[in-house]
Structure 1
Amino acid sequence: MYADLHIHSHYSDSTRSPEEIVKKARELGSDLLCVSDHNTTAAYNELIPLCKANHIKLIRGAEISTSFEGKEFHVLAYDFEFENKEIIDICKQCESVYADIDLELIKKMSVDYKEIGIEDYNAFNRNLKNGGWKGFDYLKTKNLVNNVPSFFKLVSDYHVQPKSSFPSIEYVISTIHNANGKAVIAHIGENMKNNLLEIEPRLKKLKNMGADGFECYYTTHTGETTNVLVDFCQKNNMLITVGNDDHGGFNNRSNIIYEMGAIKVDFSMLNLKDIEILG
């Protein structure tokens, strides 16, 4: 039985609809899924009946943006109460940070590029099939970006700073627990560039903050990173999860493919204790 617990739909920044995700899962022989869209659970109205009809097991979840040691870190929230007001408020806060970045970038770039402007941007409707988000899709239609790194290079070059910040990772973990969910730290190896000297000291720190587990098996994790994460989770009886961070091809790079099926890990290698699995 294969699982993929970190997938995105077009309700955040993927090119794939829930129906296309389930179809792809069937083709790959994936038995257990979690669509963990960025700061939203909007896909689940479609996803739950689709998985049931196709005999695919499902964990409900979302990927929530946080601040940790001055950097953006993501927490995978699993099996929490979707209607929890604090979670909803956190997601809105995170979305406002991203929206501020988009708007500020467009404002600053409009001075140098006559083909873009705030009124034009406000009237723009994102094409869900393109993946990404409004600011990215808008600039791509103007041939000013072509991939995720090129967008964030502009953010850096124009010294864009959002008006607000992401909530702290400790607060998000606590809020997930208050919503009866589990908090798993996403792709820490990618965040720390697989530098074990950076990763290892933070595992205990994050555990002490209340993290329930780590995304041990991940697209860009090295074998050494994976082994360290699995060993730490096993010794501390923490959750062990797997994710490919599939965005329907949107975030693929020349040397990295974030695709469902890229990493296939048998269910027996995971630890999903106390997480409700639908189906």
Structure 2
Amino acid sequence: MKADLHLHTCASDGTWRPEELIQNIISAGIGLFAVTDHDSVESIPAVSSLAEKNRLNYIRGVEISTTENGRIFHILGYNIDPENSALNEVLMLNRNSLETRNKKSIEILRERGYPVSPDEYLLYENNPERGGWKALNYAIDKGVCRTYREFFQLFGNREIGMSIDGCVTPGVAISAIKEAGGISVLAHPGSGIYGDNPAESIKLAFDKGIEGVECFHPENNAETTEYSVGFCRRKGLYITGGSDCHGTFVKERWLGKPDVRVAQLSLWDI
């Protein structure tokens, strides 16, 4: 059975509504999937209903942005209760932090002479089905940049365009996921947002209490995949994988790529 346990909808920075996502999952022949929107569980009720209607195997998920001592960790939570108060408090803190950074990014652009206005930004109506986030889409519409990569380059920082201080720590996210009955997994250890040493990132996340690693991901090279699978097997951790598909927003990450089979994963009671 094909699996894709890392998908985004327009509830965070993807372009697909739940209905579109389900249609694409069916077309791709994926038998097990999880939606893991950034700091949001908004799409879970609709996706759960559609998955049941179409007899698809579905895992409730979320992806939480975290930072500690200048390092970034994206933590996936699986099999969560989306109504859990501790989890929702963490997600709200992170969403508020993102909007603070959005406003700060527009102010920085204005100070650099770009044709943007903080007051105009506050009134800007963002269309979530474009993908991305409000500050990015406003900057694109103002002709400041054309893509999210160009937006990041304006600030010399691939992650958000500035410091990500304000997000919760990995420990707080892991505790909230556990409180919500879920399993915590380190997302995409091969991603450049962690630096150039995936093994170090995995070990640090393990020390913070992570219960699994996303061993299969488009940004994991063969060496990272092999190391992470071996690490998980030695430590008895969950092994997951997914495309990190954002619909058409991030075209190089597409549904069902890499081709992951349930037999390659260690999911146990997820």
Does TM, normalized by the shorter one, top 0.5?
Answer: yes
> Equivalents in 2 of 1:194, 1:64: separation in Å?
18
Q: Secondary structure at the match of 1:258?
A: coil
> Equivalents in 2 of 1:99, 1:188: separation in Å?
26
1:264 corresponds to which residue?
259
- Shift of the alpha carbon at 1:93? 1.4
> Equivalents in 1 of 2:162, 2:24: separation in Å?
38
CA contact (8 A) 1:245 1:258 kept: yes
2:234 corresponds to which residue?
235
Q: State the one-letter code of the partner of 2:12.
A: S
- TM-score by structure 1 length? 0.89
Q: Does 1:56 align with 2:51?
A: no
Q: State the one-letter code of the partner of 1:265.
A: V
Q: State the one-letter code of the partner of 2:141.
A: T
Report the RMSD for the aligned CA atoms in angstroms. 2.1
- 60-69 vs 160-169, which deviates more? 160-169
Q: Secondary structure at the match of 1:189?
A: coil
1:50-85, CA deviations, whole angstroms, 9 ceiling, x for partnerless residues? Answer: 111112110001000001441221000111221222
- Shift of the alpha carbon at 1:262? 1.8
> Equivalents in 2 of 1:150, 1:57: separation in Å?
37
- Shift of the alpha carbon at 1:114? 6.8
1:126-145, CA deviations, whole angstroms, 9 ceiling, x for partnerless residues? Answer: 11221111101111111211
- Shift of the alpha carbon at 1:160? 6.9
CA contact (8 A) 1:104 1:162 kept: no
2:5 corresponds to which residue?
5
1:44 corresponds to which residue?
44
Q: State the one-letter code of the partner of 1:165.
A: G
> Equivalents in 2 of 1:145, 1:201: separation in Å?
34
Q: Does 1:16 align with 2:11?
A: no
| Structure 1 unaligned regions, length at least 5 | none
CA contact (8 A) 2:178 2:184 kept: yes
1:152-171, CA deviations, whole angstroms, 9 ceiling, x for partnerless residues? Answer: 222349x9756952111122
- Shift of the alpha carbon at 1:106? 1.3
> Equivalents in 2 of 1:200, 1:241: separation in Å?
16
Aligned length: 268
Q: State the one-letter code of the partner of 1:210.
A: G
Q: State the one-letter code of the partner of 2:11.
A: Y
- TM-score by structure 2 length? 0.92
1:85-133, CA deviations, whole angstroms, 9 ceiling, x for partnerless residues? Answer: 2211111111122111110121232345574212211111111221111
CA contact (8 A) 1:22 1:51 kept: yes
> Equivalents in 2 of 1:127, 1:8: separation in Å?
16
2:191 corresponds to which residue?
190
- Shift of the alpha carbon at 1:203? 2.8
CA contact (8 A) 2:2 2:262 kept: yes
Q: State the one-letter code of the partner of 2:108.
A: K
1:227-265, CA deviations, whole angstroms, 9 ceiling, x for partnerless residues? Answer: 11111111221100011110112123xxxx111022111
> Equivalents in 2 of 1:266, 1:150: separation in Å?
34
CA contact (8 A) 1:192 1:199 kept: no
Q: List aligned pairs for 1:70-85, cutoff 5 A.
A: 70-85=70-85
| Structure 2 unaligned regions, length at least 5 | none
